[in-house]
Amino acid sequence: MKIQRIALLVLALVTIMLPIEAGAQSVPASDSILSKAVSDQQLTLSADSKTAVVTRCVALQAQLSQLSSKTAATIHLYLDTYGSTINDLQAFELRLARQGVDGSEIDLLIGKMQGAMDSLTISGSTYTGTLNAVASVDCVNQPEEFVAGIVLARAQLSQLQKSANQIEQLLIDAPSSTFNQIIKRLSA
């Protein structure tokens, strides 16, 4: 009787653990991203296109892998540049606070920059993730996934560029949106 209970308990635990393992493994699968891309784009390749893709695929995978690394390094550099700018702005904000001058515009700018940096990080991570997935497909058996991944990466690159432009624009607009008011306040 006791053995039966223990066996039931073990069975219950195994039943619980199986979906955990399956769920944990299935989430980051890059294959599923590309399969979904093929399905979403309803992509079919003609025999000629397929041959052309298979022929170029391996060389392009190395190229795309390099592009992914280069893009990741560039994003890191951007985040570093914007991060140091935020540090500068925070230092100004502290100095202004010490002398009793309102620097809330700087606070607002920092908040917007942090939001834009998060957006840049996410879009960059998505884009480089797709490039890496494309760089590791089976060229012979998955030419559709390769092409669909490139199309998907193009859309994600567009989003990445938008995020990068957004944060740059914040700083281009900073003189009129932020600094001029503070200069006026300090000059008054």
Q: Which of 5, 42, 47, 141 binds another protein (CB under 8 A)?
A: 5
Residue 184, Cα to own-chain centre: how many angstroms? 39
133: contact with another protein by CB under 8 A: no
Size of the site for another protein (CB under 8 A): 73
Q: Which of 34, 38, 64, 133 binds another protein (CB under 8 A)?
A: 64
Sequence-distant (≥ 6) Cβ neighbours of residue 116 within 8 angstroms: 82, 163, 166, 167, 170
Q: Which of residues 72-91 bind another protein (CB under 8 A)?
A: 74, 78-83, 85-88, 90-91
Q: Are 129 and 30 in contact (CB under 8 A)?
A: yes
Q: Are 162 and 51 in contact (CB under 8 A)?
A: no
Please state, in angstroms and rounded to a whole number, the distance separating the CA atoms of residues 70 and 29.
23
Q: Which of residues 103-132 bind another protein (CB under 8 A)?
A: 113-114, 117-118, 120-122, 125, 129
Give the contact letters, 21-60, x = binds to another protein (CB under 8 A), - = no: --xxx-xx-------------------xx--xx--x---x
Residues constituting the chain:
188
Q: Which of 7, 101, 108, 140 binds another protein (CB under 8 A)?
A: 101
Residue 120 phi, psi dihedral angles, 5° rounding: -65, -40
10: contact with another protein by CB under 8 A: no
